[in-house]
Amino acid sequence: MLRNDLVLRALRREPCHRTPIWIMRQAGRYLPEYRAVRSKTDFLTLCKTPELAAEVTLQPVDIMEVDAAIIFSDILVVPEAMGMPLEMIESAGPRFPSPIRSRADIDRLIEPDVSQALRFVENAIRLTKRELRERAPLIGFSGAAWTLFAYAVEGKGSKDFKHAKKMIFSRPKDAHDLLRKLNRVLTNYLLLQIEAGADAVQIFDTWASLLSEDAYKEFSLQYIHETVQTVKLKHPKVPVIIFAKGANTLLRDIAETGCDAVGLDWTIDLAKARWELGDRVTLQGNLDPTILYASPERIREHAAFILKKFGEHTDTSGHVFNLGHGILPDIEPSHLKALIDFVKIESAKYHQNMQTAPSMN
Amino acid sequence: MLRNDLVLRALRREPCHRTPIWIMRQAGRYLPEYRAVRSKTDFLTLCKTPELAAEVTLQPVDIMEVDAAIIFSDILVVPEAMGMPLEMIESAGPRFPSPIRSRADIDRLIEPDVSQALRFVENAIRLTKRELRERAPLIGFSGAAWTLFAYAVEGKGSKDFKHAKKMIFSRPKDAHDLLRKLNRVLTNYLLLQIEAGADAVQIFDTWASLLSEDAYKEFSLQYIHETVQTVKLKHPKVPVIIFAKGANTLLRDIAETGCDAVGLDWTIDLAKARWELGDRVTLQGNLDPTILYASPERIREHAAFILKKFGEHTDTSGHVFNLGHGILPDIEPSHLKALIDFVKIESAKYHQNMQTAPSMN
C-alpha cells in the first residue's frame, strides 16, 4: 500500500488533507543530479536503460519531495518503435530525419508488439516501482495521437507545423489512417505501462493549440476518447489525466472523454475552469512556469493565488497542483523546493470543510 | 466618399449586402509583386520610404481585390522611435541588439514627438490614401504595449520570453513604468495615423498568449483599455479593432475595452464567440491560415464553414472575414484569390434577413 497516495486520492476526487503536487518535467535539466547522470550518456540511452531511467525518475521524489513520480521517458519513443529513426540533438530538439509524408510512408509504419519494442519502459517502470518502496505513486504517460502525428509528419518542432496541417486539410483520409495507427500503438503502450505498475497515466497533447475547435475534435479528441475508453474498460481504477495545452475553450469536451483529470496550462483562470467543469473531473495545474524565475517570496504569493482560485474543497472536488507546462531547464532548484514546501502547507486550509474525514497520509 | 466602405460598415455593425474581407499580412512575401519591390531594398527602408510603402500597401487591393488596405509597416517602429536600434535580419526575424533590462534602460527610452519620429508612416498613409482614390478604406495599426514590451525586453522573438516574464513577475513596478511609456507613445502614434487619414485602426497583441488571465488583465488589457478610450474620445467614429492572439478565454473583457471589433485567431469557434459576445462588437476572422495550403476546393469548403458558423446577419451584427493570423509567406497567391472571390459571393446569402435595406456598394 502506498504511504503517500494523495495524488491518486485527488485524481479520484476523494478527500485529502492537503493539495498534492508534482511537476511536469520534474526529472530534468534544472536538477544538477539529473545533469550528472546525463553527462555520462545521451538522452535516448538514458530513456532506454531502466537503471538510469529509474534513477532520474526517483530524484525529484528524493530531493524535491513531490507527491508523485513520473517515469522518465519521451513521447517520441512511440513513433520510433513504429519504425521511425529518431535523433535527439541537444540544442535543436528531437528530429525524425525521415518524416511521414506519403501514403507509402504511412503504410510502411509498423504496429509493433509494445511489450517487445517498448520493453525498456516496462522494465524502467517495474524497477522504479520497486525502488520507490511505496513512497509515492508512479505516473506513466504517452503523447496524444495528434501530437505524435504532428512530430512524425513535420519531422521536428515547428512554429506552424505546415506539413502536418497540409496533410489533415488536403488528405484527411491519409491523416486519419496515420492517427488511427498511432493511436492503437499508444493505447497498447499505456496499457503496458499500467500492467507494469503505473498507478495513473497522463496523455500529453502538447500541440492541441495548432487546431481550430472543429479540427481538434476531428483529428485529436476522438482518438483521445477512444484511448480513454479502452484504458478505463480494462483498468477502471487507474486515473487518466489529459493535458491538452492551449485547448482552453474545449475543456468540457475534454472532460467528456471519460478521463479523471484535465491538465490546465497557465492561460486559463483556475476558478473559471472549476466553474465550467464543476467537480466532474479533477483539475491539474496551473502555475505559469516562468513564475519560478521570480524570488521565493513572489513564488509563494502566486502559488497562494492559485490555491485561492481553486478555492474550498468539497467531498467531490479534486486539485493536483502542477505548473501549466514543464519546468524550464534554467530554474533554480531551491525555487521549485520553495513552491512545493509552500503548497503542502498553505493548501491544508482549503481542505477543512469536508464531510468525510480526510486521509492523513 | 469611399466607393467600397463595407469594412467600415461591418466594423460599425451597419447593414451590408455581403461580408467584407481583408487579410492580415496581405501586403507581404507571398506576393511576387511584393518580392519584386522588396528585392531592391531592405525591410526597414521599405517601411520608411512612403512611395514604396504605399506601393506595396496598394498591391493586395489591386491584385487580390480585398475590401481594405492596411498600411505597410512594422509594430517595432515604435520602440525604435523611442531610441532602440532595430535590426531586421531576413532569416532570424527582428532583433533589438540592446534590449531593455535595467531601470536605467527604461529611463533612457525617450517619448518622441511621433509626428516627427514617425513622420514616414504619416506620409505613407497620406500618399496611400491619395493613391487608393476611395476604392477601399485604409487601416492603420500598432502593437499593444504588452507585445512591444515583450520584444523590447526580450530583444527578439522567443518561445518563453523569459526576460519579459521575469521583469513582470520580479519587478512589476518597473514593468508598469515601461508599459505606460510604450502605451503613451503608441496611443499618440495611432492618433497620428488617424489624423493622416487612416479610416480604422487595429491593435495587435500577438503575445497575449504568454500570460495568465490575471497577468493579461494587469500587464496588457488595462493599457489597451486606456488606448481605446483615448482614441474613441478624440475620434468616436473611427473603428478600433483589437486582435489579442490566443486570448480566447478573455473575449468579453476585450470587448469591454470599448473597441468596435474583436479579432479572433482560428482556435476559437466563431459561433461560440458570437454567442458569447452577442452582437455587442464586430468579430473579425478566423480561418486557419494553413488551410490556404490546401486546394481551392477545400479552401472554399472551409470558408463556407466559417460563414455558416457566424450565421445569419441581423441589423446589428458585424463580421469582417480574415484569417486567424497573418498569411504565410509560401502560400500560392491564387489560393488566396480563390478565398476572397468565394467569400464575396457566398456570404451574400447570410445578409438577406435584415430589416434595413443593406448598402449595395
Which residues in chain A have their CB less than 8 angstroms from residue B268's CB? 213, 249
Q: Please check whether residue A217 is in contact with residue A178, taking contact to mean a CB–CB distance below 8 angstroms.
A: no
The predicted structure's pLDDT at residue B167: 97
Q: Which residues of B are catalytic?
A: 25, 29, 38, 74, 151
SS3 A329: coil
Mean pLDDT by 10 residues, chain A (361 residues): 95 97 97 97 96 98 98 98 92 91 98 98 98 97 98 94 96 98 98 98 97 98 98 98 97 98 98 95 98 97 98 95 97 98 98 67 47
CA dist A22 and B43 (Å) reads 47
Residue A259 CA to residue A243 CA, distance in Å, equals 10
**Residue corresponding to grid cell 509493433:** A112
Q: Does B246 touch chain A (CB under 8 A)?
A: yes
Nine-digit cell string for A227:
484511448
- Decide if B150 contacts B207 (C-beta within 8 A): yes
> Are the Cβ atoms of A246 and B249 closer than 8 angstroms?
no
What pLDDT is stored for residue B353 in this prediction? 77
Tell me the three-class secondary structure of A68-86, residue by residue.
CEECCCCCCHHHHHCCCCC
Domains of chain B are 6-351 (3.20.20.210)
What are the start-end ranges of the H helices in chain A? 6-11, 32-38, 43-48, 50-63, 77-81, 103-108, 114-117, 119-132, 145-154, 162-170, 172-196, 213-216, 222-234, 251-255, 270-277, 296-310, 333-346
Q: Which of B286, B247, A32 is nearest to B255 (CA)?
A: B247
Residue A80 φ then ψ, to 5°: -60, -45
User: Which runs of E-coded beta strand occur in B93-157?
Assistant: 93-95, 138-143
- Structure confidence at residue B358 as a pLDDT band (50, 70, 90): low
Using the predicted structure, report yes or no on whether residue B336 has a pLDDT greater than 60.
Answer: yes
The Cα A7–Cα A19 span in angstroms is: 8
B326: nearest CA in chain A? Answer: A160
B207-258, pLDDT tens digit by residue?
999 999 999 999 999 999 999 999 999 999 999 999 999 999 999 999 999 9
Q: Which of B76, B22, B52 has its CA nearest to residue B128?
A: B52
- Residue B359: is its pLDDT beyond 70? no
Q: Which residues of B touch A289 (CB under 8 A)?
A: 160
User: Which residues partner with A143 through β-bridges?
Assistant: A204
Distance CA A245, CA A223 (A): 16
Q: Which residues in chain A have Cβ-Cβ distances shorter than 8 Å to B295?
A: 170
Q: Given this model, what pLDDT does residue A361 score?
A: 47
Please give the Cα distance from B181 to B174 (Å, whole number).
11
The answer to whether the Cβ–Cβ distance between A249 and B266 falls below 8 Å is no
How much is the pLDDT for B260? 98
d(CA B43, CA B27): 13
Establish if B93 touches chain A: CB-CB under 8 angstroms.
no
Q: Is the peptide bond before B286 cis (omega within 30 degrees of 0)?
A: yes
Note the pLDDT tens digit of each residue in B16-61: 999 999 999 999 999 999 999 999 999 999 999 999 999 999 999 9
Q: Which residue of B has its CA nearest to A296?
A: B170
Which of A248, A291, A305 is the closest to B249 by Cβ?
Answer: A248
All 3 cell numbers of residue A322? 502542477
Q: Does B135 touch chain A (CB under 8 A)?
A: no
Whether chain B has a CB inside 8 Å of the CB on A355: the answer is no
Q: Cα separation of B62 and A340, whole Å?
A: 60
A294 and chain B in contact, CB less than 8 A: yes
Q: Is the pLDDT at B355 greater than 90, yes or no?
A: no
Give the helix/strand (H/E) hosting B87: strand B87-89
pLDDT of residue B323: 98
